[in-house]
Structure 1
Amino acid sequence: MTDIKKNLKTIKDKLGDEITLVAVSKTKPNEDILEAYETGHRDFGENKIQEMTDKYEALPKDIRWHMIGHVQRNKVKYMAKYVHLIHAVDRLKLLKEINKRAKNEERVIQCLLQLKIAEEDSKFGLEKNDLLDILESDALKTYEHVKIVGLMGMATFTDDETQIHREFTQLENLYFDLKDKHNFTTLSMGMSGDYELALEHQNTMVRIGSKIFGKRDYDNW
């Protein structure tokens, strides 16, 4: 049986107070989330809007919900009233929709732009020039209900630590190049398999699931 409370403490001891831990609770039951919640943890990540919304409806309202998956524009409306941070924004049209739905809810929704740093074709994300184009676009300046608070990226799934460090360095360098100009506060990188490597790259947020909640069962998901 997975000891969620023990796992959380072990990871938080490694992270310290400066790094936000997003506990990735996708596919996990509400009971597991409540076990983590009872330790004082409040940041949870989901990658499907419907699942996240169902959990939002059922669980304590002081939970900060992070949307960590690829977002379809037609689903934004379902999370606009409550989502704390959208991690994986990779196109201007998506920001337009987020702004529209946030305006309807009289909110400002925080977002991260996702830089493609992995060599894997399966990973989403923006090329550097496209990311810069979004930040400098006239359209973004009119989106009063969206706030870009930083960058995120996912490294290649590999045992080659040199490659992972190289990819994290790319994200780290771009973040600090842009940080002051755009008032960035959040550099999100590192997951269960590579978060300890990410700690060497001045990240401020990690997304960890299986090392907290145990292996996922996707059979009924």
Structure 2
Amino acid sequence: MIAENVKRLRSEIPDYVTIVAASKTRTASEILEILESGLKDVGENYVQEAEGKFEAIGNKARWHCIGHLQRNKVKRAIEIFDIIQTVDSFKLAEEIDKRCSYLSKKMPVMVEVNSGKEENKAGVLPENVLQLITEISPLKNIAVVGLMTMGPFTEDPEEIRPSLRLTRRLFEEISKEKIEGVEMKYLSMGMSNSYRVAIEEGSNMVRLGTIIFGERQ
């Protein structure tokens, strides 16, 4: 089933769009099926859950941190993840930079945008994104490579289109700033119920879970 789902999605989704398999609560064997089907990018929400899967799978996957990252988990996170999509404060960026310096590692990161301005959501308010990126850019062990957003949760993906459009506009504006050390490559928007709308609005990276793996048990 997983291989068939991946094949169908890959035929539908343009080649320039990276599919990140969102594997929260999924097993290492399910992730291995993903890798065998041709996908390489795997997204995990929690460091502790990612640890066991990383031990089983290792560098066969490209590991994305797609959940809120606490500073006290950064030390382990940078040993697992190849890219962190959810930087939302200078203090978090500073901690990633410090820990990466010990490993002589440069971590690609994205800034998470709270595009719906929701009080209960992580992420930087849209009006503060450029300022945060400007503050982060001098850090030597971090490379800002794009923006990520969740958008408000809704059954109707059309309702989040304005939030996606806002994030796309931010992405383009920051790209034009040509900030040293910043290369805006990835616009990570869209999940299983919203990826079609997200791609229409400019996303080149989608985070898909249920539509790949099926409903959670």
- In 2, Cα distance between the equivalents of 1:161 and 1:168? 10
Contact 1:48 1:69 in 2 (8 A): yes
Q: CA deviation at 1:118?
A: 2.1
Q: How many angstroms does 1:129 deviate by?
A: 2.9
CA distance in 2, matches of 1:100, 1:152: 23
Measured in 1, the distance between the counterparts of 2:124 and 2:97 equals: 19
Which residue number in structure 1 is paired with residue 203 of structure 2? 203
Structure 1 runs (4+) greater than 3 angstroms displaced: 159-162
- The 3-state SS of whatever aligns with 2:42 is strand
Q: Which residue matches 2:113?
A: 115
Match of 2:163 in 1: 167
- How far apart, CA to CA, are the structure 2 residues paired with 1:204 and 1:133? 23
Deviation string for 1:93-119 (max 9, x for gaps)? 000000011111111001110111125
Shift of 1:60: 4.0
Please say if 1:189 is aligned against 2:185: no
* Structure 2 Cα separation of the partners of residues 185 and 80 of structure 1: 20
Task: Give the match for residue 103 of structure 2.
Answer: 105
Q: Any residues of structure 2 matched to 1:121-132 within 5 Å, and which? A: 121-132=119-130
Q: Secondary structure at 2:184's aligned position in 1?
A: coil
2:60 partner SS:
coil
CA, structure 1 residues 32+141, in 2 after alignment: closer, same or farther (shift >3 Å)?
Answer: closer
Gaps of 5+ in 1: none
Choose from 6, 9, 19 the match for 2:7: 9
Point out the more displaced range, 121-130 or 84-93.
121-130
Gaps of 5+ in 2: none
Q: Return the alpha-carbon distance in structure 1 between the equivalents of residues 127 and 118 of structure 2.
A: 19
Q: Deviations over 1:196-219 (max 9, x none)?
A: 1101111110000011011123xx
Q: CA offset at residue 187 of structure 1? A: 0.3
Segment drifting more, 30-39 vs 176-185? 176-185
1:26-175 map, 5 Å = 26-118=24-116, 120-137=118-135, 140-175=136-171
Measured in 2, the distance between the counterparts of 1:119 and 1:91 equals: 15
- In the TM superposition, what is the alpha-carbon distance from 1:130 to its structure 2 partner? 2.2
